[in-house]
């Protein structure tokens, strides 16, 4: 408005006809209408979100997509993210007077009320082996530790070594070393008085986990492993993956504290699938959930959901975000250049309102067409 008024007054003062002065002022208003500038960001964001959806990635907001481009640290939970999370029951070790059938029935009954991936694996094992479950009363979940409940008037604890020790149940740790060295997960069962039995489960890496980590490193993103598993298991998988920064035996609040520390100097993304990951996901700058087997709470919390649980989409997502940011910056730059040049030409009388309108709309079209280049874009 100021430029248009000044153009009108200056040209009038210089002796131009009033119609010419009005013509130049109106042309300035036409060409400087910032439609192209306003379209620069939303068109690129819409195109990127659309193509991400085509690749089975649900992005909840444009802000998240832009933030992903700034991420330089990605923290992974292990179970269900870098691994399949479908643990297979390997060893059944009965150290009590309870029969194997009764021992397994107690474990299956407790896990039948759990939503953790470990519980799902045990229930699959129970179904294959026709192991029934019984009623559980006063069931409790202690995140990152284990579960407890009353079966037939007797209280049982099922979970980690730390969890049983917190309940003053003693046992010999050395008996588990063999299984730990094989990177197996040990789940202990005890009643209020004695340690009873344990089972072991093992997990396998996703086929594309190693290539995903390598790709992220090429994109200057440091992968970090934050897991509740024991150090031996965490180190075993991290060596296979090529992840150097590893934190093991973490409770949910400890994962949260690690994310807090990382956020002080970095833009952090967290990838998880279980309830234990929810606090860390909420705090991270960008959160990604595994959609196929992830818990409902995690999916609701996360900014981005991988519908097919394909973590190879994470490097793609990073590349898409980077390209989207470049597209937005280019769109803003080109729209400003077109406006500035057009205003300059308008003040000189080289443009009229009709040509100005065409240039104005041409700027908008250039921005939109550039944004559409994101769609079906393949990244090397």
Closest C-alpha among 101, 85, 96, 120 to residue 271: 85
Please identify which residue in the block is written with the tokens 């280049």. Answer: 373
Token digits for 159? 């979970």
Cα separation, 70 vs 66, in Å, equals 7
Residues contacting residue 237 through CB under 8 Å, at least 6 positions apart:
78, 82, 83, 183, 205, 225
Cα separation, 279 vs 158, in Å, equals 23
Cα separation, 169 vs 68, in Å, equals 46
Is 77 tagged catalytic? yes
Evaluate whether 268 touches 259 at the Cβ level (below 8 Å): yes
Closest C-alpha among 312, 226, 209, 215 to residue 262: 226
* HSE value, Cβ hemisphere, 13 Å, CA-based, for 247: 18
DSSP 176: G
Which residues of 53-110 form beta strands (DSSP E)?
57-59, 73-76, 88-94
Evaluate whether 186 touches 93 at the Cβ level (below 8 Å): no
Catalytic residue among 20, 77, 310, 380: 77
Residues contacting residue 154 through CB under 8 Å, at least 6 positions apart:
191, 192
Evaluate whether 26 touches 305 at the Cβ level (below 8 Å): no
Token digits for 203? 């997990």
Residues known to be catalytic = 77
């Amino acid at each position: 408005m100021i430029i248009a008024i000044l153009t009108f007054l200056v040209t009038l003062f210089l002796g131009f006809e009033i119609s010419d002065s009005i013509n130049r002022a109106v042309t300035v208003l036409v060409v400087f209408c910032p439609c192209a500038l306003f379209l620069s960001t939303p068109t690129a964001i819409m195109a990127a979100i659309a193509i991400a959806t085509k690749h089975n990635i649900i992005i909840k907001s444009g802000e998240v997509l832009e933030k992903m481009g700034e991420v330089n640290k990605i923290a992974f939970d292990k179970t269900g993210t870098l691994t399949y999370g479908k643990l297979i029951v390997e060893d059944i070790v009965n150290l009590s007077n309870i029969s194997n059938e009764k021992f397994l029935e107690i474990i299956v009954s407790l896990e039948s009320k759990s939503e953790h991936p470990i519980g799902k694996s045990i229930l699959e094992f129970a179904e294959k082996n026709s192991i029934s479950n019984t009623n559980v009363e006063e069931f409790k979940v202690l995140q990152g530790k284990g579960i407890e409940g009353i079966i037939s008037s007797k209280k049982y604890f099922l979970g980690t070594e730390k969890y049983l020790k917190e309940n003053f149940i003693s046992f010999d740790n050395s008996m588990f070393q063999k299984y730990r060295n094989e990177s197996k997960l040990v789940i202990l069962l005890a009643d209020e008085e004695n340690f009873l039995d344990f089972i072991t489960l093992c997990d396998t890496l996703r086929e594309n986990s190693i290539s995903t980590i390598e790709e992220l490193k090429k994109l200057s993103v440091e992968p970090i492993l934050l897991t509740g598993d024991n150090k031996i298991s965490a180190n075993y998988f991290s060596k296979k993956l090529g992840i150097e920064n590893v934190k093991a035996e973490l409770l949910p609040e400890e994962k949260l504290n690690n994310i807090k520390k990382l956020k002080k100097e970095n833009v952090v993304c967290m990838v998880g699938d279980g309830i234990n990951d929810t606090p860390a996901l909420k705090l991270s700058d960008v959160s990604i959930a595994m959609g196929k087997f992830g818990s409902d709470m995690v999916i609701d919390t996360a900014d981005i959901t991988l519908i097919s649980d394909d973590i190879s989409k994470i490097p793609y997502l990073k590349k898409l975000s980077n390209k989207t940011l470049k597209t937005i910056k280019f769109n803003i730059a080109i729209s400003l250049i077109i406006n500035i040049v057009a205003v300059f030409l308008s003040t000189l009388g080289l443009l009229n309102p009709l040509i100005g309108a065409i240039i104005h709309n041409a700027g908008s079209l250039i921005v939109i067409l550039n944004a559409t280049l994101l769609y079906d874009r393949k990244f090397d």
